[in-house]
Structure 1
Amino acid sequence: MKLRPDNPGKTLLRLFSYFRFNKFLFIAGLLSIIFSSIAQIAANGLLSPIIDSLIEGRGWPVFIRYILIMAVLVVLISLAQYLGNLSMARLAQRTVHKIREEMFSHMEKLPVSFFDQHPHGELMSTFTNDVDMLNQALEQSTSQVTISVVTVVGTFAMMLYLSPILTLVVVGMLIFMLLAVKYVGQRSAKNFRYQQ
């Protein structure tokens, strides 16, 4: 049995095409995760006004108002994360169920010689272990990638809003660090090959 796909990109696209059978769950999960990430960034952005209100002595009413807004955001974040995780878990389970049905239907059409050439354990492993791993990957990777992208974009936007100059300094330092890591990595690889 072939373990690696010829074209991983096409394989991923085909895999994600199964989401069309459960569009509502996919959209609901995606929107919940995006909302949760944005609300998390907004909650972090509230820390500065809360601390400023205490230092500048604006009074308890202002402080309490900020705390109430923060509490509402925390509740919304928790609810959105729960709904997002639930939607993605159900989406993954239904997608895997559909894949298992198609696999079983395909196997019924295979000639007897196929089963003679492949051990039963190998086929059962594909039906159970491999598909279970696919379920975990679909459930976790989709939400994690979405959270990461929204968090990076949102944090960068918040940094630009708070201090464009400081943002440029941070971006410049990151570019310098990436170039330095690339240079050191290439030199280390050459020296390692030379020592071998």
Structure 2
Amino acid sequence: MNGLQRAGIALLVCGALVFLAPSGAFSSTVAERGTTVQTASDANALVGIEYPAAEDGTRTVQLESGQADEGGGCFFVCSDYEYNNIGITLFTDQTGASNLAVDQIEVSNTNGDMIGGEGLREEQPENGMQAIRGDFRCSSSGIFGSGDQQHDSTNITVSLEASNQNLTVSLDREITVECVQD
């Protein structure tokens, strides 16, 4: 065998090895990926919810006697402090298409003794889809003059279903209304 034949056989063997050897590319890989899923806050959801009379960042409405619309006077017997037209919730359509319609809304409370005047009611506001407002009363005690408001509370549950041709949103929210004791 001469040198040229040996070189040809060597190149042939090298070519076969290169052909059979892995190419350096990968056929699979493993990678860890993190995913975080969060729901939007009530104010930023598809059906936005505001709590107009609630303390900032809570769903609690505090009724203080100094803010009452009337009542609280005592002459041996005290009249209740009365709070009229208190905003409980305001629902807004934030879908972008602004075509959600309220299909169903239910409002309930745990303490009917605190509900006064026109009670809990639904309204169609200019700046939203639906609003819940209420009139409340808080008992007072004393003998003469201005009575001391007594502590009491009620939980109001609002259930809403709204939809358009592509989307249905259902939600339940509980709001606490409390009489702040003097």
More helix by share: 1
More strand by share: 2
Instruction: Normalising by structure 2, report the TM-score.
Output: 0.26
The higher radius of gyration belongs to 2
Higher relative contact order at CA 8 Å, sep ≥6: structure 1 or structure 2? Answer: 1
